[in-house]
């Protein structure tokens, strides 16, 4: 089939108003950070699962590759077409029109949603039913879509308590690479009746099939919260504090974030209305939160836990007042934005065992400062999950462009070497996409890469699902 004929046939499936080509298609062919852009024959917006299946069947018959796309907020170029040409061309299959909440069962604590539901809308729909959907991505949840969240196994601030996106799913509906529809929309807490196929598609970044709907777990909403801002001596004290808090407050810990002085300085400089949380200046602060369904006096429990911790804490402040706590959260939430004001940086999203976080920061800091005098390291993140965002730029912003062009590979090599020493992962929550597709081959066991290719080959023998991503 000629490419024009293919485009025409696609428009017959989805309707003329649900297919873009040329200039109008361009925004869907580039990522939101402006790092990746590619070429698609067309962008299609199917409105239901049957249309997705028909599009996939047609593409498969014509050897056209398919790039599944949700809110297109990938940080790794996972949701845009490749810039190089691909066999029978690339079709972007955008799921944003599939945005129905199909069902909510408050008694079963589940909801069934289509892939194109925005994360914020999923959370709102749960809340309207007096339930809570815990996946929270403060920066993007108004834009990102649940299908993308599941395809990338998204993380965020509440992983410590509720798990990754993967842990919040009971069932999936998936359009397979040959266009058949797998209805795995079960809403069961227990089901040991064969291989758990949903876990193959979750986190596969669209390379094994297209998630079109999911049954999500819901929770009772927290009634009580208490937040503490804690100045700690160093990352080792933060690691010990987290362990102490888990032992004393258990599942109530809903967040444990670490922020380095370099982050705070950037935030104070660029984000209006922010200021030092303490009268003294400290090198490391932790923001931690307890939450409970019972309206218990959590600030007392948190205060008791912090007071009994020992010498690693320099000072702390506790509040169960939301507005007060939000002042601290603002420091954490605006780090990326503040950093952007000083230009681009080399970003890492790594994880190590929680017990090795202090080692990671110490070793990576030493290696980088030694190799590259004059750099600034911006380290922060979800310490409760062992997940550190670790970004490197020059103190003098004007030098950044040249530094990154010349040294990005060398910086990555140093950081990833420390990650490897500590049995960590070079992609904790953002996925691989195009960004880390090459790097992962150096850091993952060749046998595991082979197993991944075996699975890919078995499910997508033509290699048409999101080619050039992950593997």
- Residue 389 and residue 375: Cα distance in Å, rounded? 16
What strands lie across the sheet with 110-114, from one edge to the other? 101-105, 110-114, 210-217, 169-175, 181-184
Closest separation in Å from C-beta 210 to its own copies: 15
Closest separation in Å from C-beta 104 to its own copies: 11
Q: Which is nearer to its own copies, 346 or 422 (CB)?
A: 422
Closest separation in Å from C-beta 170 to its own copies: 9
Q: Which is nearer to its own copies, 43 or 104 (CB)?
A: 104
Per DSSP, which regions of 253-398 are E strands?
253-260, 284-292, 313-319, 349-351, 375-382, 387-394
Q: Which is nearer to its own copies, 60 or 375 (CB)?
A: 60
First and final C-alpha spacing in the chain? 28
State both tokens at 172: 């999936």
Closest separation in Å from C-beta 312 to its own copies: 13
Q: Which is nearer to its own copies, 96 or 387 (CB)?
A: 387
Q: Which is nearer to its own copies, 219 or 268 (CB)?
A: 219
Residues contacting residue 241 through CB under 8 Å, at least 6 positions apart: 230, 232, 286, 306, 309, 312, 313
Q: Which is nearer to its own copies, 4 or 130 (CB)?
A: 130
What sign does the CA torsion over 312, 316, 318, 324 have?
negative
State both tokens at 34: 């402006």
User: 């949603």: which residue's tokens?
Assistant: 113
- Assess contact for 146 and 429: CB atoms under 8 A: no
- Residue 43 and residue 29: Cα distance in Å, rounded? 8
Closest separation in Å from C-beta 130 to its own copies: 7
Q: Which helix (H) or strand (E) holds 162?
A: helix 159-162
- Assess contact for 420 and 412: CB atoms under 8 A: no
- Residue 251 and residue 54: Cα distance in Å, rounded? 45
Closest separation in Å from C-beta 189 to its own copies: 4
Q: Which is nearer to its own copies, 88 or 222 (CB)?
A: 222
Closest separation in Å from C-beta 369 to its own copies: 26
Q: Which is nearer to its own copies, 77 or 277 (CB)?
A: 77
Query: Could you tell me how many residues make up the chain?
Result: 471
Closest separation in Å from C-beta 310 to its own copies: 15
Q: Which is nearer to its own copies, 176 or 411 (CB)?
A: 176
Distance of CA 45 to CAs 3, 164, 338, 469, Å? 18, 28, 35, 21
What strands lie across the sheet with 90-94, from one edge to the other? 19-20, 42-44, 90-94, 65-69
Q: Which is nearer to its own copies, 5 or 234 (CB)?
A: 234
The stretches of 21-113 forming alpha helices (DSSP H) are 49-61
Closest separation in Å from C-beta 395 to its own copies: 30
**β-sheet bridge partners, residue 152:** none
Closest separation in Å from C-beta 354 to its own copies: 5
């Amino acid at each position: 089939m000629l490419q024009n004929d293919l485009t025409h046939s696609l428009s017959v499936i989805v309707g003329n108003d649900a297919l873009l080509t040329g200039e109008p298609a361009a925004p869907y062919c580039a990522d939101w950070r402006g790092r990746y852009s590619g070429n698609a024959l067309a962008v299609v917006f199917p409105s239901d699962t049957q249309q997705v299946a028909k599009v996939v069947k047609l593409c498969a018959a014509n050897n056209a590759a398919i790039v599944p796309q949700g809110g297109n907020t990938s940080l790794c170029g996972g949701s845009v077409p490749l810039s190089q040409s691909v066999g029978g061309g690339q079709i972007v299959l955008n799921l944003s029109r599939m945005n129905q909440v199909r069902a909510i069962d408050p008694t079963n604590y589940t909801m069934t949603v289509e892939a194109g539901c925005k994360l914020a809308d999923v959370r709102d729909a749960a809340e309207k039913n007096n339930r809570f959907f815990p996946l929270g991505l403060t920066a993007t949840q108004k834009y990102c879509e649940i299908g993308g969240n599941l395809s990338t196994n998204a993380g965020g601030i509440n992983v410590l308590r509720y798990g990754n996106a993967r842990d919040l799913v009971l069932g999936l509906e998936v359009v397979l690479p040959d266009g058949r529809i797998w209805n795995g929309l079960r809403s069961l807490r227990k089901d040991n009746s064969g291989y758990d196929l949903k876990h193959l598609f979750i986190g596969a970044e669209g390379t094994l099939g297209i998630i079109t709907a999911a049954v999500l777990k819901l929770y009772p909403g927290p009634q009580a919260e208490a937040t503490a801002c804690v100045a700690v001596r160093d990352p080792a004290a933060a690691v010990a504090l987290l362990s102490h808090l888990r032992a004393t407050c258990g599942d109530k810990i809903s967040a444990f974030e670490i922020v380095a002085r370099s982050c705070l300085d950037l935030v104070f400089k660029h984000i209006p209305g922010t200021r030092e949380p303490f009268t003294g200046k400290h090198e490391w602060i932790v923001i931690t939160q307890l939450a409970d369904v019972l309206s218990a006096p959590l600030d007392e429990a948190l205060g008791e836990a912090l007071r009994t911790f020992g010498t690693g804490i320099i000072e702390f402040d506790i509040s169960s007042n939301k507005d007060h706590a939000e002042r601290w959260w603002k420091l954490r939430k605006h780090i990326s934005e503040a950093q952007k004001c000083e230009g681009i940086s080399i970003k890492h999203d790594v994880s190590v065992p929680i017990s090795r976080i202090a080692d990671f920061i110490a070793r990576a800091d030493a290696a980088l400062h030694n190799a590259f005098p004059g750099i600034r390291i911006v380290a922060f993140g979800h310490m409760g999950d062992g997940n550190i965002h670790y970004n490197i730029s020059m103190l003098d912003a004007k030098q950044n462009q040249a530094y990154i062009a010349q040294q990005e590979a060398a910086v990555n090599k140093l950081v990833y070497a420390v990650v490897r020493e500590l049995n960590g992962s070079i992609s904790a929550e953002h996925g691989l996409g195009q960004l880390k597709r090459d790097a992962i081959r150096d850091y993952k066991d060749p046998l595991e890469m082979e197993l991944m290719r075996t699975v890919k080959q078995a499910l997508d023998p033509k290699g048409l699902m999101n080619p050039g991503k992950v593997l």
